[in-house]
Chain A
Amino acid sequence: MTAALLETRGLCKSFGALDVAREIDFRLERGARQALIGPNGAGKTTFLNLLTGLLRPSRGSVLLKGEDVTSLAQAKRVKRGIARTFQINQLFRGLTVLENVCIAVAERLGAGGSMLRAAGERSDVIAEATRLLATLRLADDAGRRIGELPYGRQRLVEIAIALGLRPQVLLLDEPAAGTPSAESHILFDAIAGLPDEIAVLIIEHDMDFVFRFAERITVMVNGAIYAEGTPGAIAADRNVRAVYLGSAVDA
């Protein structure tokens, strides 16, 4: 069996007596379009944090492209090709939209630490950032400060930053949350337009989005994988529906 792009084996995490991740065995294949759903508090964001290195597991391992990255710090994992967005925007509020994306692009190109050339003169970084903004219909806002944008557009900048890293594994934490429905199609098109080899995992509560996007769905409950399968199978699964109806679901 070929190595999955992203994999966890027996991943566990507890805070004292609280188990937030239990023996998670997870695979994300090359080119995957996978969604992670589950009731609030199921541990989905925690799982994402474990995948990216924001949290260290109590037990188990994370493998990226077949290599064990469990002890690698966040930034090093990003360099190996994994990028994420946050549930609540993590942007550089005092900087402009263009600057936000330029920072990400520059880091990827290895220019983040360059000291001699003015940032405004690095045409390679700026050109790529501008192109990225265009795909997300943010070109007009390029010169505006983040704080001046409505939250929905800020969400798009959050995506742009992750895309600017040209990851091989893209983890999106509730990308549609906060995006007004008028603009969610921009989001969807951007994700749909991603290269086929990239593996995408989305945490979402918006079921329309999930069923349009996902080729495979993982259901997480109480820190463990409850069910996994094609959208059709999951939709038909009575247990999944019971688990979902048992808690509040944002539609």
Chain B
Amino acid sequence: MRWWEALPWLAGIAAYFLFPNYLAFGTQVLITILFALSLDLVLGYAGILTLGHAAFFGAGAYTVGMLALHWGWNEPLSGLLAAAIVAGAIGLASGLVLLRTHGLTLLMLTLCTMALLEEGANMASAYTGGFDGMPGLKYAPLLGLFPFDLLYFRSQYVYALALLFACFVVVRVLVHSHFGLSLTGIRENVIRMHAVGAPVRARLVTVYSVSAALAGVAGALFAQSNAYVNLSVLSLERAAGVLIVLILGGYGRLYGAFVGAVAYMVLEHALAKAYPTGWQLGVGLALMVVALYARNGMLGLADALRRRLRGGRGR
């Protein structure tokens, strides 16, 4: 544990007191960080390229939404747990089937799975509200004490922060274990991993399922905090958006999700509404530049800068 690892959490707590009018935005940022973290496990560590991760985000969101709307199950924490289980199960089922392939085929299959869920949600409008979704969800107070307030988002923010912390601990432990090391091995040289006797597909399916569950938690948080769900939770925009966030921050480094989400969403908040086309142009250019020159995102650039400064001083 390095000292600076406490910084994001201190910043998160400080934000609660420093920006009381921006906690709704802050909650969205925290949800995005969690979503990006789940993607980092699968993409950054295991090297599974997926454009369909919103399938699990959406699965979690719709689980929580349908439970509240149709069965009056609106206790947040247990609903969240249900969402994680459902999303994780979908991750397990799709992972078992999809992870037999790789490359473009796998990419297409992840897209198809997500698109299937999206179309399915669209068609099953009796359950899901179809195109309009489920607005106006109502949730019981958190732990019976802290009601969700749709104006200031105070409880939601603390809820999201606490969940993000818990999930982050899980991810961090996983990544630093031998399981995590073997994922890096699979990503770096899958031939070698087979040749040392590692059960590669089992590892990949496991991490895919865990990641799906975490994405489901993020989706459930989204539905509970914002009190609505619609098809956008399963959309390509959402899947591409979280990919962009992770890449810009730096994948395979855990904290890239934090940096990327904060930077992207703050910039988007400031620029996208005023100059939507300009924002699109900027994001596109940023992606091209990152792909060509800054593959490790902002954190990678920071690393390179630090190395150069250290090298310069040493001379």
Q: Do these two chains interact?
A: yes
Q: Which residues of A contact B (CB under 8 A)?
A: 52, 54, 73-76, 78-79, 83-84, 86, 90-95, 99, 102-104, 106-108, 111-120, 122, 125, 161, 164-165
Pairwise interchain contact A119-B178, C-beta atoms closer than 8 A: yes
B175-188 near A? 1/0 per residue, CB < 8 Å: 01111111011001
Q: Which of B193, B196, B199 has the most CB of A within 10 A?
A: B196
Closest-by-CB residue of B relative to A164 is B196
Tell whether, in the assembled complex, residue A91 and residue B197 are in contact, meaning their CB atoms are under 8 Å apart. Answer: no
- Of the candidates B173, B200, B203, the one whose C-beta lies within 8 Å of that of A116 is B173
Check if A115 sits within 8 Å of B177, measured CB to CB: yes
Chain B 251-264: CB-based contact to A (< 8 A → 1; otherwise 0): 00000000000000
Q: How many angstroms between the C-alpha atoms of A8 and B10 in the bound complex?
A: 63
* Chain B nearest Cβ from A158, distance in angstroms: 9
B residues whose Cβ falls under 8 Å from a Cβ of A: 173-174, 176-182, 184-185, 188-189, 191-200, 202-203, 206
CB distance from A135 to the nearest CB of B (A): 18
Q: Which residues of B contact A120 (CB under 8 A)?
A: 176
Cα distance, A90 to B191, chains bound together (Å): 7
Q: Do A90 and B203 have beta carbons less than 8 Å apart?
A: no
Please determine whether B189 and A90 come into contact, CB atoms closer than 8 angstroms: yes
Choose among B177, B182, B203, B206 the residue that contacts A118 (Cβ–Cβ < 8 A): B177
Within 8 Å by CB of B196, from A73, A99, A111, A161, lies A161
Q: In the bound complex, how far is the Cα of B185 from the Cα of A93, in angstroms?
A: 9
* Complex CA distance for A151 and B190, rounded to whole angstroms: 20
B197 touches A107 (CB 8 A): yes
Give the docked Cα–Cα distance between A62 and B179 (Å): 31
In the complex, the answer to whether B198 meets A92 with C-beta atoms within 8 Å is no
| A to B CB contacts below 8 Å, 15 in the list | A74-B195, A75-B198, A75-B200, A76-B197, A78-B194, A78-B195, A86-B191, A91-B189, A92-B185, A94-B184, A111-B178, A112-B178, A113-B202, A115-B177, A119-B178
Q: How far is the CA of A91 from the CA of B194 in the complex (A)?
A: 12
With beta carbons under 8 angstroms apart, the residue of B176, B182, B192, B194 that contacts A113 is B182
Residues of chain B within 8 A of A111, CB atoms compared: 178
- Contact (Cβ within 8 A) B196 A104: yes
Beta-carbon contact of A112 and B182 below 8 Å: yes
A113 close to B203 (CB less than 8 A): yes
Tell me the nearest residue of chain B to A109, going by C-beta. Answer: B178
From residue B97, how far is it (CB to closest CB) to chain A in Å?
18
Give Cα distance in the complex from A65 to B182, angstroms: 28
